[in-house]
Amino acid sequence: MANQKPAAIRRPIVVRLLVVQIAVVVLMIGVSGWTHGASGALSSLKGGLVCLLPGFYFAWRAFRLQGARHARQIMTNFYRAEAGKFGLTVALFILIFAAVPPSNPAYFFGAYVAALGVHWLSPLLVKRTTSP
């Protein structure tokens, strides 16, 4: 009995969601750079980062623990991750608009909303691992 492997734990794979968000931001940077030059591309980059960085923080913080023994800690981490994501988003908006305002707010918010809209695809993108 000591040689038995523990059952595989099913965890959501959010990497696909993050990769698609990155791809959408890169696409927005390309389109805005093509239509409005370097200033448009930089505005899109800033908007994309305001969306991506808090999402990466959430994924890192929320999915650190697994298993039924840690159910209470998992929920606590999830709520803390969501609060941290919200706080980081607010801080990044303040930082961007106070320190380095985007030259074209339409591209900034366009990239932000496009990357945020990828969450609507999460039921298709976030797959669960299967147990053997």
Q: How do the domains of the chain map onto residue ranges?
A: 12-121
Residue 16: pLDDT band by 50, 70, 90 thresholds?
Answer: confident
Work out the mean pLDDT of the chain and round it to a whole number: 83
DSSP tag of 8:
P
pLDDT at 13: 72
pLDDT at 10: 53
Task: Give this prediction's pTM.
Answer: 0.78
Measured at the alpha carbon of residue 63, what is the angle toward residues 69 and 82, in degrees to the nearest 5?
110
What's the rounded mean pLDDT across residues 102-130? 83
Q: Among 2-6, 39-43, 72-76, 127-131, whose mean pLDDT is lowest?
A: 2-6
Residue/partner pairs of 83-90 with CB below 8 Å, 24 or more apart: 84/54, 84/57, 84/58, 85/54, 85/55, 85/57, 85/58, 86/54, 88/53, 88/54, 88/57, 89/50, 89/51, 89/54
Instruction: Report which secondary-structure segment, H or E, holds 83.
Output: helix 71-99
